[in-house]
């Protein structure tokens, strides 16, 4: 007797995307578009004009109450209380060992009202972890993931297109956030993204997701804005040195090992994982997430082994071919945390070793991003 597989979850835009010819895949239990017009075409559209991504599989959590800020200060590695209403930040939630429970975007919408975007694969885990740590505190936590859609509008023309739809977006600085009304419904807008370009992420009720998707693409068509899938999102984020939870970071790796020490504010009085990170910092790192770039033609894959001379020093967590650099790139935890950029390495692929070198992150830095 065979056990039936659970049905894939679908976003409010699923039918519309299929009509547009999107290739769909199973991504952590969601049926999502992997590409529309082609990975290279979508990648270049975001770098040069703009792209729209359906990221409704991501989780959304609201927190409100007298102790919401105090709570977020304790569970985040970054400094939540430095945010004023209308500001957002990237941060890590940590366990007691300093490992990353999740990487998140935290927005302060009002004095006592906060909003957090979490990863799709960790929604249930994060909610349970947050509620466990919030016991006894005066706040209300709501998981809005099941009732919300989320669109990412990314690229140098994103601000021009969105200003026509949501005029308030024109005043947002990078990592700004606000609440607004669109088509008679509440939306949360932040000037954030996962591509290395300027852009915005919008959370809205399912009821207006289709209208918003179609309106953005219609307004952006004259600039070359395209609908984009998961593959382009991955090549864009890896070029920009942005982490993928579950591949590049997880409960067993710390922000210091991942090269994200800047999201850890040791000056805070206390936060979960602080003692473990202080101990790791004092003892020195034994491994660190570093960039690797192939210097001969090849497409590296996650799991590919990395060598320094004849010594195996680690393996790649994420890897792909970079359309912008026209080279294979990847990141991995290597046993030489202070390895200088440009150091000669090799990467095992297809039964032989391909010439490579260590590389500073990010591989690509946009000149189009807002202040």
Q: Quick one: 46 and 151 in the same domain?
A: yes
Q: Is residue 109 part of a domain?
A: no
Give pLDDT, residue 6. Answer: 73
Structural domain span for residue 163:
9-56+146-239
Q: Quick one: 232 and 342 in the same domain?
A: no
Give pLDDT, residue 371. Answer: 44
3-class SS of residue 41:
helix
| Distance, C-alpha 55 to centroid of its chain | 10
Could you read off the pLDDT tens digit of each residue along the chain, which spans 371 residues?
555 657 899 999 999 999 999 999 999 899 999 999 999 999 999 999 999 999 999 999 999 999 999 999 999 999 999 999 999 999 999 999 999 999 999 999 999 999 999 999 999 999 999 999 999 999 999 999 999 999 999 999 999 999 999 999 999 999 999 999 999 999 999 999 999 999 999 999 999 999 999 999 999 999 999 999 999 999 999 999 999 999 999 999 999 999 999 999 999 999 999 999 999 999 999 999 999 999 999 999 999 999 999 999 999 999 999 999 999 999 999 999 999 999 999 999 999 999 999 999 999 999 866 54
Q: Is residue 179 part of a domain?
A: yes
Contacts by residues 21-27 (CB-CB < 8 Å, ≥ 24 positions apart): 22/227, 22/229, 23/229, 25/230, 27/57, 27/120, 27/230
- C-alpha to C-alpha distance for 120 and 122, rounded to whole angstroms: 6
Q: Is residue 253 part of a domain?
A: no
Q: Is residue 223 part of a domain?
A: yes
Q: Quick one: 199 and 329 in the same domain?
A: no
Number of domains in the chain: 2
Q: Quick one: 295 and 214 in the same domain?
A: no
Contacts of 289 (CB under 8 A, 6+ apart): 243, 248, 253, 257, 258, 259, 317, 331, 332, 333, 334
Among candidate residues 103, 102, 113, the one with its CA nearest the CA of residue 71: 113
Q: Quick one: 298 and 235 in the same domain?
A: no
- C-alpha to C-alpha distance for 122 and 103, rounded to whole angstroms: 10
Q: Is residue 297 part of a domain?
A: yes
Q: Quick one: 23 and 154 in the same domain?
A: yes
Evaluate whether 182 touches 151 at the Cβ level (below 8 Å): no
Give pLDDT, residue 369. Answer: 60
Q: Is residue 17 part of a domain?
A: yes
Q: Quick one: 292 and 191 in the same domain?
A: no
CATH number at residue 191: 3.30.1360.120
């Amino acid at each position: 007797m065979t056990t039936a597989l659970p049905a894939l979850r679908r976003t409010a835009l699923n039918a519309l995307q299929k009509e547009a010819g999107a290739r769909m895949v199973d991504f952590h239990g969601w049926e999502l578009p992997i590409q529309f017009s082609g990975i290279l075409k979508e990648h270049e559209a975001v770098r040069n004009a703009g792209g729209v991504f359906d990221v409704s599989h991501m989780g959304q959590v609201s927190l409100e109450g007298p102790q919401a800020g105090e709570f977020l200060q304790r569970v985040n590695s970054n400094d939540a209380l430095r945010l004023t209403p209308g500001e957002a930040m990237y941060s890590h939630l940590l366990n007691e060992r300093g490992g990353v429970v999740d990487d998140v975007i935290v927005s302060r919408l009002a004095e006592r009202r906060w909003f957090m975007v979490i990863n799709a694969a960790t929604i249930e885990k994060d909610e349970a972890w947050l509620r466990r740590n919030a016991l006894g505190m005066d706040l209300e936590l709501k998981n809005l993931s099941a009732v919300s859609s989320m669109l990412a509008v990314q690229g140098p023309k994103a601000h021009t297109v969105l200003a026509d739809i949501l005029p308030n977006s024109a005043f947002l600085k990078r990592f700004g956030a606000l609440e607004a009304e669109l088509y008679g419904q509440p939306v949360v807008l932040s000037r954030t993204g996962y591509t290395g370009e300027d852009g915005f992420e919008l959370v809205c009720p399912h009821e207006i997701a289709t209208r918003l998707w179609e309106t953005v693409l219609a307004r952006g068509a004259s600039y070359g804005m395209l609908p984009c899938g998961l593959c382009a999102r991955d090549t864009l984020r890896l070029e920009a040195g942005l982490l993928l939870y579950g591949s590049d970071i997880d409960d067993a790796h710390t922000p210091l090992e991942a090269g994200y020490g800047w999201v850890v504010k040791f000056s805070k009085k206390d936060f979960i994982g602080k003692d473990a990170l202080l101990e790791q910092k004092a003892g020195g790192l034994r491994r660190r997430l570093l960039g690797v770039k192939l210097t001969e033609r090849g497409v590296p894959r996650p799991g590919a082994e990395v060598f320094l001379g004849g010594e195996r020093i680690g393996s790649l967590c994420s890897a792909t071919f970079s359309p912008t650099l026209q080279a294979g790139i990847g990141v991995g935890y290597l046993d030489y945390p202070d390895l200088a950029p440009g150091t000669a390495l090799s990467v095992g692929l297809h039964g032989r070793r391909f010439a490579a070198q260590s590389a500073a992150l990010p591989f690509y830095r946009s000149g189009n991003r807002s202040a």
